[in-house]
Every structure is written in C-alpha cells, then in structure tokens.
Structure 1
Amino acid sequence: MKYLMPFLGLVALLACRGKNVEGKNMGKEIVEIKKENTSQGVDTLSQEPRLKTFKGLADTTFVRLADFSDGFAFDLRYATENNFLKAKVYDCAECYTRVKTAKALIAANKDFLDKGVKIKFYDCYRPNSVQYKMWEIVPNPQYVANPDKGSIHNKGGAVDITLVDMQGNELDMGTDFDYFGKRAYHDNTDLPEEILANRKLLKETMESHGFWSIRTEWWHYNLSAASNDKVANFKWECND
C-alpha cells in the first residue's frame, strides 16, 4: 500500500497536466480561428452595419440620409426646443430626403470633405402636417411657408445646413440658424472676411451640385430638380 499511494499521486498529476495542455491548445485554436476570420475581413466579435446603396430606388423615394453616408453631422433643431418656434415639432430627430436630393448632398459633401469640412444638417424633409404645426405657432409667411401651398422642405428637396470641421466645430457664418435679420442675408457683404469666405464656400459648392439658395437665409438650399415634386406627408418612425 505504501508503494501504491505515490503511484496514484503521479497518475493524478499527469492527468491534470494533460487537461491544462488540452485547455491551452484549445485556447490557441480559438485565437487562431479569430485571427483567420479577421484576416479575411470578418470580425467575429462585432460587425459594423454596412451603408445602403441607391440601387433599385426611384429618385422620388424618401430615404434616411444616415443610411447612405456616414460623412455628415446633424443638429436637427425642430426635434428640440432650440429653434425660433421655441417648440419641439418633430417626434424624433431624423433627416430624410428624396433619393435625388440625397445623391446630390453626398456628392456635394465629398467636395467639402476634400477641403477638410463637412455638412451639418439643421433640417431636412419636413412632413406637411408639421408645416401646419409651425404655421399655427408662427403664421407669418416671411418666416414659415403657408402649409396650404407647402414648401420645398415638404417635397423632400430642401435642407437647412452649415459646415463643420472634422472635430465638429461649426464654421463662423455670422449668425445662428434661423436668425431672421439682414446679417443672415447672402447679399450682406458688410461682414468679416472669414464669414464671407465660409458662406462663399458653402454657396458655391452647393450650387455646383444643383442647389440654389434664397437671399435671406444663408443656411437654406433647394434642389432645383425637386421643385416640381409633390408636397408629401410621409412620416418617419421613431425608435425609442
């Protein structure tokens, strides 16, 4: 019996070492599989959703802009109370446009990105029902389009935008969004050179991609190709 106990202890020790070696080899195998998958472009731990394409979509289809480009910034003011209405009129912050508007915006933003800046959105497509809400709060055609006729925002062809640098800092445009006064006019040249240069960059680039501006708002741009589209009341879903 005195010779059997050391023998049994040795067997147990070898068995434990075998399990440890097996466990280490198994861990090594998992790491190697992970490395192999990663080398093939597959991340087994997390996989970023791919951007959508416009293939098969009609130019008049409404799309969520962020699904087709990750190169924009957003500050959708009408989903907050930080706007001239002092009221939240969108249930949630989303930027939708027609496909043709989205294509033009992505093309324009590519030019901006080449210059180290990008588009930041204050407003995009606006359902006609929201236009009526805005009209109830501010029934003044100088500031809000009459909802009976609708605006190009209601057609998915207008955006309110500014430019930001790659750190998200807004370029100085002279006024905040929805500032209603002469300082916001495009033809006001009595402004510092930096502001005039920033507005010029925004305006000339947008116009080169089929957009046109209005005299009194440096932030507002309409897509010419959307002028004859119908006023819409499409409403996007809000995901809590």
Structure 2
Amino acid sequence: MKNIILLFLLGSCLSACAQKNNQNPYGLTIVNDYRAYHTDYKINPDHELVEIKKAIPSVVLDIRYATKNNFMQQVMYKQARAFARKPVVEQLKKIQAILNKKGYGLKIFDAYRPYAITVAFYQKASDKNFVANPAKGSKHNRGCAVDLTIIDLKTGKDVPMPTPYDSFAPEAAPHFENLPPAVIKNRDFLIATMQANGFKVIYNEWWHFDFNGWQDYELMDIPFEKL
C-alpha cells in the first residue's frame, strides 16, 4: 500500500513538473520540482543526488564555479558543493580507495550541475565545442558526470596534467600526444583508472568523465541550496 501511495504521489508531482517543462524551448523534460525529485528517489534510492564530500570525506573539492576562477569569470554556484547520483558516488568511493593505495587522491572541480547553469554557459562560451548544448542538456545535469583530477597525497599538490581545468586548448583532448612523456603518463593513468571503474572520458576534455548508464537519469534543475 505504501508503494502504491508513493507511486501516486510521484505521478502527481511529475505531472505538475511536466507542465512547467512545456516552457522549455527545446521540449526537454527537466525535473525542477523538489517534491517530485524527493518522491522519486524515495522509490528508487539510486536517483538520489548524494553530496560527494559527505560520502567520501577524503575527497578534495575545488569547485571553480563557486568562485570567479573559471572560464565564465563569475560566480555561478551559490555554494561550493558537489553532488552526484548514488551509484556514481559509490564508484567514486571505489576509485578513491584504489588511488589512495598508490599515493593519490581525487580532486573534484564539478559534478551535478543545474540545467540553468548549462544554459548560461552556452550563452557566454566563446567555443561552443567545450560546453553542453542546452538543446540536449548535459550529463552533468543528470548528476552523472564529474570533472576531476588527482593529487599527490604526500604533497597535496595536483599531479601535472596537459592543461589547467576548463582549458579550451587542443592539448585538453585526452589523446593529444605532443606533450611531455610524464604528463601523458599521468593523464593516461587517470583515464585508465576512471574507465576501469564505470566512467568514460569525453573526446575533448581529459578531466571530464561520464558515468556509464547516464541514460537512466533525468535532466535536473534543482539548485544546490535545496538539496
């Protein structure tokens, strides 16, 4: 009986949410109603957006979009927090354990990103190849993408990579070869570790990893402060 009531509530909430989504110029279904989202993950816990730092306390956060140190050169997030769907966080926890045994750790730049932020990025970005098209939405909007690098646990410093985070340079591509061998080794180590544990790097950003199975999750537009 409890499940039947929850399903009824979910249907009602999603119906109300869908009416709002008719206003989306691309015809996308975007969950922007917290009640609908809350009811949904109570039925399916995998749909919950989990705060990464709470689940993996040893992770380092460098949430650039909560600062002006980003390609937009303005604060985009009101809070310096990182969320991802529950299965995504579970895989990140496994990866952190693997890295720790080798003297490394994860540093996360970004994870779940509300859809409204994706729209703002696309409007301002000088190179549209490096930002998601709001006509399709982003894996970040689904809580199924993470932007990250690795740090050396002994020094606490970032391991050298081909480019800084959010670089639009050609060197940011994960298969770019005209680089120092040590940098290629670091990049390939990160990519191999992530791809062996449920993620796939995208074609033009060595730091961006999509979760395998992202198709099972809806686009979201709920701000951090409501989560």
TM-score for both structures, normalised by structure 2? 0.76
Partner amino acid, structure 2, of 1:105: L
2:195 is the alignment partner of 1:215? no
Unaligned runs of 5+ in 2: 1-42
| Aligned-partner SS, 2:208 | strand
Distance in 2 between the 1:111 and 1:203 partners? 13
Distance 1:72 1:193 in 2: 27
Q: 1:118 matched to which residue of 2?
A: 105
| Equivalenced residues, count | 184
Report the equivalent of 1:196.
Answer: 184
Displacement of 1:223 in angstroms is 0.3
Q: 2:225 corresponds to which residue?
A: 237
- Separation in 2 of the partners of 1:227 and 1:104? 17
Residue 158 of structure 2, aligned match among 131, 153, 170: 170
Q: Larger radius of gyration, structure 1 or 2?
A: 1
Which residue is 2:89 aligned to?
102
* Distance change in 2, residues 1:170/1:139 (3 Å): closer
Listed one character per residue, the Cα deviations across residues 32-63 of structure 1 (whole Å, up to 9, x for unaligned) are: xxxxxxxxxxxxxxxxxxxxxxxx97111111
Higher RCO structure (Cα 8 Å, ≥6 apart): 2
For 2:111 and 2:196, locate their aligned partners in 1 and report how far apart those are by CA, in whole Å: 19
- Do the aligned residues in 1 keep the contact of 2:50 with 2:84 (CA within 8 Å)? yes
Secondary structure of the 2:216 match is coil
Could you tell me how far apart the structure 1 residues matched to 2:44 and 2:101 are?
28
Name the SS for the 2:129 alignment partner: coil
Q: Is the 8 A contact 1:89 1:134 kept in 2?
A: no
Task: Give runs of ≥4 in structure 1 deviating > 3 Å.
Answer: none
Contact 1:101–1:226, Cα closer than 8 Å, also in 2: no
Pair 1:141–1:225, CA change in 2 (3 A):
same
Across the aligned residues of Structure 1 and Structure 2, the Cα RMSD in angstroms comes to 1.8
TM-score, normalization: structure 1?
0.73
CA contact (8 A) 1:186 1:217 kept: yes
What's the counterpart of residue 150 of structure 1?
Answer: 137
Deviates further, 168-177 or 223-232: 223-232
Deviations 1:155-198 (A, max 9, x none): 00001000001132000002100111221111111211110111
Amino acid at match of 2:128: P
Deviation for aligned residue 1:237: 1.7
SS of the counterpart of 1:90?
coil
Structure 1 residue 74 and structure 2 residue 61: aligned?
yes
